């Protein structure tokens, strides 16, 4: 089976449609989504509708929680808070209900899915150190755990020393962000895992950054949220 794992779309329909077009050419059996479908970008309803149609599993992200209840965004940046308010007032009732229905974690026979990590998933900690990765390993029992949240693609084995996928070892895999990469590379990022070959690929691809950025401007969202897409920051 081949699984595509996507995360942190952040209402960027241009990037999401490009990722789905790659997925459609890659013999993918199932799509899993790791949350933050909304926030920052101009197309929250469109992105939720695509995820509702295409993803077999989806977990909730901190921006999805904030879109349901904007008071959750008190610790966000100023621009993030403006986007949360706009998203909350733009979402249809049906799409808000969909976000409310999402769990914090999903476990399949193969893997665990969580937005930030399976250890205290409601806290949305950033897994950016080996210490934090070790904490996550103690919170799942499947062979793989897929996460997002930092918008930076990484892969780490349970011994905290192996950074290339091997069979027989458990791995924590951050698939990066479809809609707002932050590793200095503006190309969209997601993962494809092949269970037969036991192979993981981090996919990077260009998309219409110009269109996504223009839409942010046209909707009256903070222009900085469009500009950062060109820089991958
Ligand atoms: Zn995010």
- The total number of structural domains that make up the chain: 1
* In a domain? residue 155: no
* In a domain? residue 11: yes
Whether 114 and 145 have beta carbons less than 8 Å apart is answered as yes
Distances (CA, A) of 158 to 93, 143, 145, 152, 202: 42, 10, 11, 19, 19
Cα of 218 to ligand 1 centre, how many Å? Answer: 22
In tens, the pLDDT along 98-144 reads 999 999 999 999 999 999 999 999 999 999 999 999 999 999 999 99
Kindly state the DSSP code that residue 185 receives in the 8-state scheme.
-
Which residues, by Cβ under 5 Å, contact ligand 1, an ion?
Answer: 8, 36
CATH number of the structural domain spanning residue 98: 3.60.21.10
Check residue 74 and give its pLDDT.
Answer: 87
End-to-end C-alpha distance for the chain, whole angstroms: 33
* In a domain? residue 167: no
* In a domain? residue 57: yes
Cα of 26 to ligand 1 centre, how many Å? Answer: 25
Cα of 8 to ligand 1 centre, how many Å? Answer: 4
In tens, the pLDDT along 57-82 reads 999 999 999 999 999 988 899 999 99
Please work out, in degrees rounded to the nearest 5, the angle formed at the alpha carbon of residue 79 by the alpha carbons of 71 and 147.
75
Cα of 158 to ligand 1 centre, how many Å? Answer: 24
Is the pLDDT reported for residue 11 higher than 90? yes
How far apart CA 227 and CA 34 sit, in angstroms, is 24
* In a domain? residue 213: yes
Q: Percent of the chain having pLDDT more than 70?
A: 100
Cα of 167 to ligand 1 centre, how many Å? Answer: 29
Cα of 178 to ligand 1 centre, how many Å? Answer: 9
pLDDT band at 188 (very low <50, low <70, confident <90, very high): very high
* In a domain? residue 131: no
What's phi and psi for 200, nearest 5 deg? -115, 135
Cα of 183 to ligand 1 centre, how many Å? Answer: 13
Cα of 104 to ligand 1 centre, how many Å? Answer: 14
In tens, the pLDDT along 85-95 reads 999 999 999 99
* In a domain? residue 128: no
pLDDT band at 47 (very low <50, low <70, confident <90, very high): very high
| Mean pLDDT, range 17-34, rounded to an integer | 98
Cα of 181 to ligand 1 centre, how many Å? Answer: 9
* In a domain? residue 152: no
What's phi and psi for 49, nearest 5 deg? -65, -40
- Residue-number span of the structural domain to which 90 is assigned: 2-105+175-231
Cα of 168 to ligand 1 centre, how many Å? Answer: 30
Cα of 115 to ligand 1 centre, how many Å? Answer: 8
């Amino acid at each position: 089976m081949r699984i595509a794992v996507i995360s942190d779309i952040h209402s960027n329909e241009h990037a999401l449609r490009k990722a789905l077009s790659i997925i459609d050419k890659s013999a993918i059996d199932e799509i899993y989504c790791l949350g933050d479908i909304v926030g920052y970008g101009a197309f929250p309803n469109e992105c939720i509708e695509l995820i509702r149609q295409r993803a077999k599993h989806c977990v909730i992200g901190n921006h999805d929680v904030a879109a349901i209840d904007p008071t959750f965004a008190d610790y966000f940046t100023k621009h993030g808070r403006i986007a949360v308010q706009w998203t909350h007032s733009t979402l249809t009732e049906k799409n808000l209900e969909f976000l409310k229905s999402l769990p914090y974690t999903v476990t399949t026979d193969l893997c665990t899915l969580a937005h930030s990590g399976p250890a205290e998933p409601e806290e949305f900690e950033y897994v950016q150190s080996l210490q934090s990765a070790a904490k996550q390993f103690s919170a799942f029992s499947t062979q793989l755990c897929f996460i997002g949240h930092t918008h930076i693609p990484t892969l780490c084995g349970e011994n905290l020393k192996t950074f290339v996928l091997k069979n027989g070892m458990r791995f924590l895999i951050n698939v990066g962000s479809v809609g707002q990469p932050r590793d200095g590379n503006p190309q969209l990022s997601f993962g494809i895992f092949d269970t037969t070959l036991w192979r993981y690929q981090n996919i990077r691809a260009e998309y219409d950054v110009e269109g996504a950025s223009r839409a942010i401007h046209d909707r009256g969202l903070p222009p900085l949220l469009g500009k950062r897409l060109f820089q991958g920051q």
